Amino acid sequence: MHWSKTQSRARFNLATSGVASFPLCELPIDLKELEINGDNSYGYAPLQQAIAAHHGVDPDCVVESEGTSMANHLAMAAIIEAGNEVLIEHPAYGPILDIAQYLQANVKRFRRAEEDGWAIDPAEVRRCITPKTRLIVITNLHNPTSAFTLNSVLREIGDIARSVGALVLVDEVYLDAVYENTPRTSFHLGPEFLVTTSLTKVYGVSGLRCGWILAQSDLAWKMRRLNDLYSATPVYPGELLSVAAFQHLDLLRERARRIVEADRKLLRDFLKQQSSLSAVSTEWGTTSFPRLSRDCGRNADAFLDRLRSEFDTSAVPGRFFEMPDHFRIGMGVDTEMFAEGLDRISRALRQSD
C-alpha cells in the first residue's frame, strides 16, 4: 500500500488494480441535493437498502465500511482472537496477511498453483485445515492473478470450514468485473460465508470509499459496534453520492467495461509475442500476473526499476505478493496509455535479452 501510494507513479502507469475514475459530472445527480450531515449513526438506511438490493440480502446483514480495506479489517477483527489459526491463500493481497498478523493470528497458507491456472484446490485447503482453524480467506476474483473461483469450489471450501466450525471470508472487490453471467455473491452459499467488497475497483468511484461487509446479522452487529472504535460514523455526503452511484451502477460498469475489454485484447496479443514472459490468461478481471523467464534474471525488481527509470512505465513488483519473479499489470484505465505501456515493457524486455 505504501509502495503504491509513493512509488507507483509513472507516465505509463500499469501499476493499477482498479478502473478509470468515473467523473462526477457524468453522474446524473442534482448536486443541490447533497447535504453535509444526516441520520447515519450505524449507516445510512437508503445506502444499506441499495447494497442489500444489489446482492438480494437482508439490510441487517450489511455493514458499511470505508472501502474493502476497512471491511477486511472489521470482518477479521470481529472474528479472530490472538492465537487463532487463519488459512490464507498464497499468493495473497498483502494487506489481508498484514491484518491477520496485526490481530496476532496464527497464519497458515494454502497454495494456488500457477500450473493449475491459479485455481483453488479444495484438497489443498483440506490438508491445511485443523480443528483450531477459525477463518479461511480467499479473494474472488483473485488478486493478483484475476483467477475466478466457481461456486462449486467455494461450496467445497464452505463444507471444509463447517467441519471444524470455521468461517470463510471472500473478498469480492473484483467480482463484478465478471461482465457476463456475473455470479451472485458467495454470501448466499451458506451461513459460514461472509463477504467484503466495495465500489472502488470495478466502478471507478474509489474516492467515495463506499465499502461493505455481508455477514450474518449477529456478526454484522458486532462489526458495527467494533467500528464505533474506528470510524464512528460514516461520511454522509459520501453516502448520498454512493446511493446515486447505485442508481446508475450499469452506467458506471459499462463505461469501465469498454476500457477493460480493449486492454485485455491488447494484453493477449502482447503476451503471445513475449518469449520472456508467461502468464495465465483469464477471461475477466483488471489485473494479470506475468512471470519473467529465467533469462531475465527471474527477479522482477531490477527489471521494473529499469522500466520505470528508462521507460517511464510502472507495474507492481511480485514481491508484494511473495512471488518476486512475477509482476502485476493493471487494465481498465486508459487504452492508449496501456498500449504504450505494453510497448515500453516489450522494449525493456528486448534490452534484457
Q: Which residue is nearest to ligand PLP (CB)?
A: 67
Measured distance CA(102)–CA(105) in Å, rounded: 8
- DSSP classification of residue 105: -
Helix (H) or strand (E) holding 329: strand 327-330
176 touches ligand PLP by CB under 6 A: no
CB of residue 70 vs ligand PLP: minimum separation in angstroms?
7
Segment 185-204, which members bind ligand PLP (CB under 6 A)? 198, 200
Phi (first) and psi of residue 65, to 5 degrees: -150, 165
Q: How far is the CB of 67 from ligand PLP (least distance, A)?
A: 3
Tell me the window of 25-33, 53-61, 62-70, 233-241 that interacts with ligand PLP (CB under 6 A): 62-70
> Considering only residues 276-305, where is the footprint of ligand PLP by CB under 6 A?
none
Q: d(Cα 198, Cα 206) in Å, to the nearest integer?
A: 8
149 belongs to the binding site for ligand PLP (CB under 6 A): no
148 lies in the binding site for ligand PLP (CB under 6 A)? no
How many residues are recorded in the chain? 353
What does the DSSP 8-state code read for residue 42? T
What is the DSSP secondary structure assignment for residue 268, as one 8-state letter? H
For residue 8, state whether it binds ligand PLP (rule: CB under 6 A). Answer: no
146: alpha, beta or left? (left if phi > 0; alpha if psi -120 to 50): left
CB of 196 to ligand PLP, least distance (A): 7
Closest CA to 93 of 145, 54, 136, 149: 145
Cα 136 vs. chain centroid, distance in angstroms?
16
Total number of residues that touch ligand PLP (CB under 6 A): 13
211 binds ligand PLP (CB under 6 A): yes
Question: Which range touches ligand PLP (CB under 6 A), out of 63-71, 241-249, 296-304, 345-353?
Answer: 63-71
Footprint on this chain of ligand PLP (rule: CB under 6 A): 17, 67-69, 93, 139, 143, 171, 173, 198, 200, 206, 211
